[in-house]
Structure 1
Amino acid sequence: MSFLQQQKLTEFKSNTQSNPIVRRRSKLAFKVEEQIRLAVDSTYRPTKIVWNRDIDGNQHKVEQPKRMRCWWTEHTDGGVQLTVRYGSKPLELGKGKTAIALNSKEEVEPTLRNLKLAVLSGEFDTILTQQVGITKPLPK
């Protein structure tokens, strides 16, 4: 008996109608993961591939570091404020509150890890839906 005769075959149906909430959730989780890497290693820079022209006009691909901003700011008293950003805008975590107050920079990484778990479990779905809006199309 051949391999294909042993398998249950079906017609492939592409999942083109992906849920926008799930896409936003995974996008935010990916960005939180980048911030975790940045908190652990301050020299971390993700890279992107861009097309450049040389002097002769020939195009070639070049790998460049992406510009990244930290989501946290340190204050002179040692305290840290951590914002959660979706795109370029900070998310409103509570009414009029856009930052998480931390006692020191050492708390940034564990807080970001817990934040990622909260994002993946769906705790930020209502915040994303309210602030970003469900009607805007997301780039794939």
Structure 2
Amino acid sequence: MSFLNQVELSVYKPNTQKSPIARRREKLAFKLEEQLKLASDSTYQPTKIVWNTDSDGNQHKVEQPKRIKRWWVELDGGAVQLTVRYGSKPLEFAKGKNAIALKSKEDVEPTLRKLKLAVLAGEFDEMLAQQVGITKLLRK
């Protein structure tokens, strides 16, 4: 009991409720991390677990490769255009501009790292809120 007398005790209050902004940041940061892995290793293939039914009607879990769409395209001359997608649509960085122009494919990975840091710092919060607002309006 001497240990418990030496420390300060309190009531545990779990913080399970995250703000919508924090959830959006984490979601985009996770997707950027997947793109980073894809940029550094072209054979990167994450997996997901799905339920399959065999010929006898029994269901069991199976691990399947998950499809990841690259966010960059290589243009003629070695230039690269990089988009950042939230959901299925690219984010619009400025009016009518939804891609980052890079000089070569080698610039993709460092740019993705910088983007991830910017997302976690909250620089994309306004764009994410606007993107979510647009998709909510389209669903109605």
Fold match (TM-score > 0.5): yes
| 2:77 partner SS | coil
In the alignment, structure 1 residue 52 sits paired with structure 2 residue 52: yes
Once the two structures are superposed, residues 57-107 of structure 1 have per-residue CA deviations (whole angstroms, 9 ceiling, x without a partner) of: 111110011111000001122111000000101000111100000111111
User: Where does structure 2 lack aligned partners over 5 or more consecutive residues?
Assistant: none
Report the number of matched residues: 135
Q: TM-score, normalised by structure 1?
A: 0.89
The alignment-based identity, stated in percent, is 73
What does residue range 19-38 of structure 1 map to in structure 2 within 5 Å? 19-38=19-38
- 2:42 maps to 42
Q: Does the CA-based 8 Å contact 2:86-2:131 persist in structure 1?
A: no
- Greater helix share, structure number: 2
Return 5+ residue gaps in structure 1 as ranges: none
Partner of 2:108: 108
Map of 1:120 onto structure 2:
120
What's the CA shift string for 1:5-63, capped at 9, x where partnerless?
54433333333432110110011001000000000111101111111011111111100
Tell me how far apart the structure 1 counterparts of residues 133 and 76 of structure 2 sit (CA, whole Å).
Answer: 37
Deviates more, 1:66-75 or 1:8-17: 8-17
Secondary structure at 2:82 match in 1: strand
